Structure 1
Amino acid sequence: MKVTISDIAKAANVAKSTVSKVLNDSPKISQETKQKVREIMKQMNYTPSSIATGLARQSSCNIGLLVDMSKESEFLNQFFYNIIGGIESVIAPLKYELTISNVQHNSPEGHFLNRLVFSKRVDGIIANNSVLTEELSEALNQLEFPYISIGEIMTPGSWVDFDNETGGNMLTEHLIEQGYSKTAFIGGQQQEKIYTHRLGGYLNALQQADLTVPQPWIINCKAEEHDSYHAALELLQREERPDSVVCMNSYVAFGVLQAAKALGIDVPSELGIAAFDDYPLSRYTTPPLTSLNIDTFKLGVSSGQLLMERIRGNDAPHKHLLLEPELIPRESTMRTRFSGATS
């Protein structure tokens, strides 16, 4: 079995990053530690990977932002360009360039590992967690190549995300404070981590208030206007219906709003509607929608900062950063007088 950096690190009782620095003769490592690690390498007949060593030595002053061009929703929206702006605001003053690249999962020749990593065209990678599969994360970890996931990942690695569970809790607590007690949840798919966290916050707020809802009031559907409209239309015509809805995003909320209008249900006196994501419809609907502001520019800034930390000191521990959303109360939930912002 081939001896790896991990084997050497374990035998020497040092971090993998220390072994990597010894391979590159880093001045940050003491001569005593270098001698100890090199002796163990000799004893274990370790042959360093030329790829990993080369990656550690060469800088391109370039950052790769990975997108999956087969998923238009990932790059044809305002959030994507806000993230780009946030990353650029961090790396540009440090004389780094940003390269946007298609991940190309199904093309071995064009795969980003070959085009960007092995070719040393970038010093680090930023990608959404829908792009960074467990397999890809493990491959980058094995190469000790710096990367940041936008969105939580299960494999060891650094990531930044919004606290979606707290967001679900905030929206539901707000509805309860406004006098609503029968709150449904519409939108999202069960296998999506973001859905799981948002739903978890909603359920936690209900539990804290000693409230329960029928299971049929938690509706999975595509998080877009058409499906949510039909889901809400069916839900709001039941004999037992909710008096409020937490929506997976503003598109879902718009569908729910249209269903309420079609059924002659007044918002907010008969139905409160609150949603994740403030863009692009929330402040312009009738009535304007209560929503969570998720600052995607800040998401880009944070991912850029975390990546530069890893590039400049690859022995830095992995970090998990959760950003706090901001509640923006508007007329769609204003059953009682509210003193907060109404922008």
Structure 2
Amino acid sequence: MDLLYREIAEKIRKKIAGGRYSVNSKLPSEADLSGELKVSRPTIKNAVRVLVNEGVLSCVPSVGSFILRKPGERIIIGYIAPDLSDPFHTDMISCVEKLTNEKGYGLTVAASGETVEEESRAVVRLVKNGAVGVLASRSLNIALEKSRFKIPLVWCGGIPADSENDRVTIDNKKGMLLLVEHLISLGVKKIGYVEAEKKSKFMSERGRELKNILADKIIKVRDEWFVCSDVSGEEGEHNLFERFLKNGLPEAIICYNDLTAAGIINAALENKISVPERLKITGFDNIGLSRFFKVPITTVNYKIAVIAEQALELLLKRISGSRENTVTAIIEPELIVRQSTKLLE
């Protein structure tokens, strides 16, 4: 009798493989399967657990089991982010692809764009491409889509505060503190902040944490030195730097990320302002390109490879049916000092 549930699992596999139960659809209820296959519900429950552990089914408590893929098909992981051309996501995808290849899994990626509609279409593409779980970085409405498609989701990088999904991210407060203490050690007393993110009209957690840290360090914060814009790219960063020129330059500018820092450095150099002698500039993330910009950037190491590995591990556990409580993994940041704040030998 102990092997009966395995026989039932095999029968369900064959029905899925033959198209009787289609991928992305809900499996018949335990009661219906019990009647159809003429076995007890506990036997059905054990058979379903076997298929969940294989990544064929996903079980949603109080809702039911959903078919993720046909038996024998390669497990495919999805990755979704607003802009796949962003070097941060390029680095993250590279790490995830390396990890999935090592495990024999496939990877499909999609850009979620700048509207809820674009994001919804992107999630549909991932599911149609066979994704049985999704790694997500910053989202407009993806938690809703996850609920709709019944596939596991893990946040890596930017995460919504109200999400009930597993998440792996960096300690932004600690990262900002490392940058501030580094600048203070160089004698800096006047610090500004720049954030230029598409469709982001409100200051991020990094910006808010920086304001609090400066207040704790009794460093005066001038509102005109904290600039936030939803226009990114070369034009956006040059416009932001113009605002600094009009209001008087601080001694240092901390940027939301490395790409913004590169833009601010270019704008400073075009205005004959030397970096780091006259103005010190930092980034955040330590993307692969950060050491190759015109002036190599002092930054905070986001440890993308570590985040990718831990996020994928959590996702695979969820795909296998883990019902553990929501996991939040906070990665310790690391200061990387380069020429944008300090002349190095």
The within-5 A match list for 1:118-129 is: 121-129=130-138
TM-score calculated relative to the size of structure 1: 0.69
SS of structure 2 residue aligned to 1:330: coil
TM-score calculated relative to the size of structure 2: 0.69
Aligned residue type for 1:258? N
Task: Give yes or no for contact 2:79–2:107 (8 Å, CA) kept in 1.
Answer: no
Deviation digits for residues 278-334 of structure 1 (CA, Å, limit 9, x no counterpart): 336533445432122333333322221110121224212221222233211122222
Deviation digits for residues 207-253 of structure 1 (CA, Å, limit 9, x no counterpart): 22111211111001234333222322331343x43111111223322
Q: In structure 2, do the counterparts of structure 1 residues 171 and 23 end up closer, same or farther at CA, with 3 Å as the change threshold?
A: farther
The partner residue of 1:291 within 280, 292, 299 is 299
The match for 2:310 is 302
The partner residue of 2:181 within 144, 162, 173 is 173
Structure 2 unmatched runs, 5+: 1-40, 50-61
SS of structure 2 residue aligned to 1:309: helix
SS of structure 2 residue aligned to 1:25: helix
Structure 1 unmatched runs, 5+: 1-20, 30-47, 336-341
The match for 1:25 is 45
Task: Give yes or no for contact 1:185–1:217 (8 Å, CA) kept in 2.
Answer: yes
The partner residue of 2:168 within 142, 148, 160 is 160
The partner residue of 1:183 within 188, 191, 210 is 191
The match for 2:76 is 63
The partner residue of 1:277 within 275, 282, 285 is 285
- Structure 2 Cα separation of the partners of residues 291 and 242 of structure 1: 18
- Structure 2 Cα separation of the partners of residues 171 and 156 of structure 1: 31
Task: Give yes or no for contact 1:165–1:200 (8 Å, CA) kept in 2.
Answer: no
Task: Give yes or no for contact 1:161–1:299 (8 Å, CA) kept in 2.
Answer: yes
- Percent identical among aligned pairs is 23
- Structure 2 Cα separation of the partners of residues 321 and 278 of structure 1: 19
The partner residue of 1:331 within 317, 320, 339 is 339
Task: Give yes or no for contact 2:112–2:119 (8 Å, CA) kept in 1.
Answer: no
RMSD: 3.8
The match for 2:233 is 224
Aligned residue pairs total 287
**How far is the alpha carbon of 1:183 from its aligned partner?**
0.2
The match for 1:116 is 127
Q: In structure 2, do the counterparts of structure 1 residues 22 and 284 end up closer, same or farther at CA, with 3 Å as the change threshold?
A: same
Q: In structure 2, do the counterparts of structure 1 residues 275 and 267 end up closer, same or farther at CA, with 3 Å as the change threshold?
A: same
The partner residue of 1:75 within 84, 88, 92 is 84
Q: In structure 2, do the counterparts of structure 1 residues 329 and 313 end up closer, same or farther at CA, with 3 Å as the change threshold?
A: same
Q: In structure 2, do the counterparts of structure 1 residues 334 and 87 end up closer, same or farther at CA, with 3 Å as the change threshold?
A: closer
Task: Give yes or no for contact 1:190–1:220 (8 Å, CA) kept in 2.
Answer: no
The partner residue of 1:215 within 212, 216, 223 is 223
Q: In structure 2, do the counterparts of structure 1 residues 189 and 80 end up closer, same or farther at CA, with 3 Å as the change threshold?
A: closer
Task: Give yes or no for contact 1:168–1:202 (8 Å, CA) kept in 2.
Answer: yes
Task: Give yes or no for contact 1:233–1:260 (8 Å, CA) kept in 2.
Answer: no
Task: Give yes or no for contact 2:77–2:108 (8 Å, CA) kept in 1.
Answer: yes
Task: Give yes or no for contact 1:230–1:259 (8 Å, CA) kept in 2.
Answer: no
Q: Which stretch of structure 1 is more off in the superposition, 173-182 or 325-334?
A: 325-334
The match for 2:152 is 146
Deviation digits for residues 138-186 of structure 1 (CA, Å, limit 9, x no counterpart): 435xx4x322122313221112223333222221221112110110001
- Structure 2 Cα separation of the partners of residues 57 and 23 of structure 1: 22
Task: Give yes or no for contact 1:250–1:282 (8 Å, CA) kept in 2.
Answer: yes
- Structure 2 Cα separation of the partners of residues 107 and 204 of structure 1: 35
Task: Give yes or no for contact 1:126–1:147 (8 Å, CA) kept in 2.
Answer: yes
Q: In structure 2, do the counterparts of structure 1 residues 138 and 241 end up closer, same or farther at CA, with 3 Å as the change threshold?
A: same
SS of structure 2 residue aligned to 1:187: strand
Task: Give yes or no for contact 2:176–2:209 (8 Å, CA) kept in 1.
Answer: yes
Q: In structure 2, do the counterparts of structure 1 residues 271 and 201 end up closer, same or farther at CA, with 3 Å as the change threshold?
A: same
